Amino acid sequence: MIIAPSILSADFADFGREIEAIEAQGADWVHVDVMDGHFVPNLTFGPPAVAAFRSHVTTVMDVHLMIAPVDPFIEAYAEAGADVITAHLEAGPHIHRTLQAIRATGKKAGVALNPGTPAEAVRHLLDLADLVCVMTVNPGFGGQKFLDMTAKIRALRAMIGDRPVQIEIDGGVTAETAPLVVAAGADVLVAGSAVFKGGSVANPAPYGANMRAIRDSVLRAVA
Least separation in angstroms between CB 14 and Zn ion:
20
- Beta carbon nearer to Zn ion, 33 or 36: 33
Amino acid at 140: G
Amino acid at 213: A
Least separation in angstroms between CB 45 and ligand DX5:
12
- Beta carbon nearer to ligand DX5, 8 or 153: 8
The packing angle between helices 15-24 and 47-54, to 10°, is 50
Reduced to 3 states (helix: H, G, I; strand: E, B; else coil), residue 111 is strand
Binding status of residue 62 toward Zn ion by CB under 5 A: no
Q: What order of strands is seen across the sheet that includes strand 188-191?
A: 2-5, 188-191, 166-170, 131-135, 108-113, 84-88, 61-66, 30-35
Partner interacting with residue 217 (select from Zn ion, ligand DX5, none; CB below 5-8 Å by kind): none
Binding status of residue 142 toward ligand DX5 by CB under 6 A: yes
What is the footprint of Zn ion within residues 167-206 (CB under 5 A)? 170
Bridge partners of 35, per DSSP, are: 66
Q: Which stretch binds ligand DX5 (CB under 6 A): 55-63, 90-98, 189-197, 207-215?
A: 189-197
Binding status of residue 64 toward ligand DX5 by CB under 6 A: yes
Binding status of residue 128 toward ligand DX5 by CB under 6 A: no
Contact 184, 212 (CB under 8 A): no
User: How far is Cα 67 from Cα 171, in angstroms, rounded to an integer?
Assistant: 17
Reduced to 3 states (helix: H, G, I; strand: E, B; else coil), residue 113 is strand
Least separation in angstroms between CB 212 and ligand DX5:
16
- Which residues are CB-contacts of 149 (< 8 A; sequence separation ≥ 6)? 115, 134, 135, 136, 169, 181
Binding status of residue 192 toward ligand DX5 by CB under 6 A: yes
Q: Is 33 a catalytic residue?
A: yes
Query: Which of 3, 4, 18, 33 is in the footprint of Zn ion by CB under 5 A?
Result: 33
Instruction: Compute CA distances 204 → 9, 21, 32, 215, whole Å.
Output: 14, 6, 19, 17
List contacts with ligand DX5 (CB under 6 A).
Answer: 6, 8-9, 31, 33, 64, 137, 139-144, 170-173, 190-194
Query: Which residues are part of the catalytic machinery?
Result: 33, 170
List contacts with Zn ion (CB under 5 A).
Answer: 33, 64, 170
